[in-house]
Amino acid sequence: MKILSNKADLMQAVNIVSKAVAVRSTISILECILITASGNEIKMTANNTELGIETVVNGTVIEGGVIALDAKIISDIIRKLPDNEVAISTDDKFKTSIVCEKAHFEITGKSGDDFSYIPDLEKSDAIEISQFTLKEVIRQTIFSIAASENNIVMTGELFEIEDNILKVISLDGHRISIRKIELNDSYPHKKVIVPGKTLQELNKILTGESDEIVQLFITENHITFMFDQTIVVSRLIDGNYIDTSKMISTDYETKVTVNKRELFDCIDRATLLSKEGDKKPVVINVNDEAMEIRMTSFIGSMNEEIEIKKEGKNILIGFNPNFFIDVLRVIDDEEVSLYMINQKSPCIIKDDKENFIYLILPINFSSVER
Amino acid sequence: MKILSNKADLMQAVNIVSKAVAVRSTISILECILITASGNEIKMTANNTELGIETVVNGTVIEGGVIALDAKIISDIIRKLPDNEVAISTDDKFKTSIVCEKAHFEITGKSGDDFSYIPDLEKSDAIEISQFTLKEVIRQTIFSIAASENNIVMTGELFEIEDNILKVISLDGHRISIRKIELNDSYPHKKVIVPGKTLQELNKILTGESDEIVQLFITENHITFMFDQTIVVSRLIDGNYIDTSKMISTDYETKVTVNKRELFDCIDRATLLSKEGDKKPVVINVNDEAMEIRMTSFIGSMNEEIEIKKEGKNILIGFNPNFFIDVLRVIDDEEVSLYMINQKSPCIIKDDKENFIYLILPINFSSVER
């Protein structure tokens, strides 16, 4: 194999496929990036068996061939090369030489024979969404997947397509995040659980351009994302997702509308009094025109008032402050509305059109507050 | 005590004195920042007994007094306050309230009685140097202090003043860094060992302005740095510093002049083939008009040629590449000159005026190179 490309193109491709390289695997081929040169096309591929990524590299094929190179080593070498044309060539013993200007590296690669290629799935019935929207949807839901694998379906996100609506849901047992997106076309009903890890890695390589389209293909066990010159293939999580439809009540006794930035800053200040693992709630006391936010822990106490617009009853309720921070961080609106029923019922934060709905369970603070 | 200041001034003062707060000390008062309000002056002080820092805080004293506050907590609180005026007040039980706009924190402080105040040393015969120069001198020498405390004097830097010359030396047994600075005045001879840790922290709080002066005061066991509204007092290291005068030879058999950036990039590329703890040398092969740099390790090999100007003999010599990287990173000149004698003698990198002299011991590579 012999290919010519330039440092920037190689670096970009390595950065993209690296997201699917296995970390500390006992199978060393999973820690490799496969370079394939055939016809006029150079491709890089990585696959940790859960997630596979393939991308086209701009460049010229001088001689076709295949080589698997340790991802860490090739990535380090390319990063440190001068900004110029790079020649990568291999011999029949997988000795690989990387030459750029006067710099000359030699490393030993592996045969591509043992590499686990990403499955070649049927690509029909593409669901189309802009890169910008997909990136936003992931950012606005990914924080509430479950960290522990006790309930494997909660480590993923539900992607449900019905007509022209994509609904994305994540939940961890204490909170739920729901985002609804209107698509340009209508599609047959699909309902799959996409691993959170896949979405986190995908989010890093989506450029987020609003006029660039991502095509989604859903097959029995896989979801495929195609965009730019890249294909991301992920296994789906097998199982039944929790039915959230009955958890989101539309009734409320109290509706509070508040400046998002002020609420964020105020709860952020409260958070510094709670140490990790110390489950002190932030207590919210809703009065007629103001809401008092207070926090008491072994470190000290804080209280602060913010102006609000209120409908309905006064309420005194406690929450994990970090759950509020996570939600307020991803909402782009200037004002947010909080809907509450009583001290033991969840708080719902949503916009009028219900494009986003966030549910946060309260903490019984009477037992914890001094 | 009651003081008024604003968030930015408080934050700046906390950031400065925090450099002298003890980390994970068993004596909790050493983890505190002392706030002193007397007359019209507010001061913050921290002292871990090796290093003490005191700085003046802009603000207004409403009621004089003293309070010691946990550095981590007060720093977190101030960082998260709105950008506005802050009132800090204490009662006779050391309960401290911090109020800014509508935010109100209460924490419990400590009496200042147990605080170890920084020693009030005689401040005469100030040695003056610009902040810019002192910061540069530290940056250009601090990397070659010894990390281990086996030989305590090597964890510090020698500061020697003779007439109008300040000479700063650091060494770790494998390399020596020497910087000479011409001062505006002449001073009596002084020779002290300043802890490396002090210089690292000092470097973080020096603004590096060339028209701001630092005054140095050297007493028997301490060195004091006064600048802006800040006083840094450090213990000196007791002991005799290694005499380096005979180690720096002015003879050479080979002089190589090379573009600094090219040499840095080339050795930086070589470095990626050496893993931590793996003592592979970079081998430098000096020929008439070019110098070949090569590296071989279990990861692979690299070689690269760079153009040079050479005086004297050809030479083949091996070094720890990281030692070269450290030196080349802090030299600001476009070209550097390397002086070598033979494979077993150190390489000296210096400028013509000997404002800087770096010595690096070679590695016997014949036994390690394949």
Complex prediction ipTM: 0.88
Residue A356 amino acid letter: F
- Asked if B303's CB is within 8 angstroms of A265's CB, the reply is no
Sheet arrangement for strand B213-218: B65-70, B32-38, B41-47, B51-57, B230-235, B222-227, B213-218, B127-130
Q: Chain B within 8 Å of A73 (Cβ-Cβ)?
A: yes
**Mean predicted lDDT score pLDDT of chain B:** 95
pLDDT at B366 (0 to 100): 66
Q: What share of chain B is helix, strand, coil (3-state, %, to 5)?
A: 20, 45, 35
Asked if A96 contacts A107 with a C-beta cutoff of 8 angstroms, the reply is yes
Q: What is the total residue count of chain A?
A: 370
CA distances from A257 to A140, A283, A334 (A): 20, 17, 10
Q: Give the dihedral sign, CA B316/B258/A105/B277.
A: positive
Cβ count near B261 (within 10 Å): 12
- Classified as helix, coil or strand, B196 is helix
Out of B76, B102, B268, name the one closest to residue A80 (CB).
B268
Residues of B with CB below 8 A from A102's CB?
304-306
Burial of A195 (0-12, 13-18, 19+ CB in 10 A): buried
Q: Report whether pLDDT(B21) > 70.
A: yes
From the list A103, A105, A269, the residue facing B80 with the nearest CB is: A269
The string of pLDDT tens digits covering residues B183-232 is 999 999 999 999 999 999 999 999 988 889 999 999 999 999 999 999 99
Q: Are A112 and A99 in contact (CB under 8 A)?
A: no
Report the alpha-carbon distance of residue B334 to residue B323 in Å, rounded.
19
Which pLDDT score is estimated for B370? 40
**By the CB < 8 Å criterion, does A298 face chain B?**
no
Task: Flag whether residue A265 sits within 8 Å of chain B, measured between CB atoms.
Answer: yes
* Single pTM value for the model: 0.92
Q: Which of A56, A63, A67, A64 is nearest to A17 (CA)?
A: A56
d(CA B244, CA B246): 6
Per-residue pLDDT of chain A (370 residues; tens, 9 = 90+): 999 999 999 999 999 999 999 998 888 999 999 999 999 999 999 999 999 999 999 999 999 999 999 999 999 999 999 999 999 999 999 999 999 999 999 999 999 999 989 998 888 889 999 999 999 999 999 999 999 888 999 999 999 999 999 999 999 999 999 999 999 999 999 999 999 999 999 999 999 888 899 999 999 999 999 999 999 999 999 999 999 998 998 899 999 999 999 999 999 999 999 877 777 899 999 999 899 999 999 899 999 999 999 999 999 999 999 999 999 999 999 999 999 999 999 999 999 999 999 999 999 876 544 4
For chain A, counts of helices (H) and of strands (E): 6, 24
Q: What is the Cα–Cα distance from B36 to B27, expressed in whole angstroms?
A: 20
Residues in chain B with CB shorter than 8 Å from the CB of A265 are: 80, 82
Contacts of B347 (CB under 8 A, 6+ apart): B317, B319, B338, B339, B340, B359, B360, B362
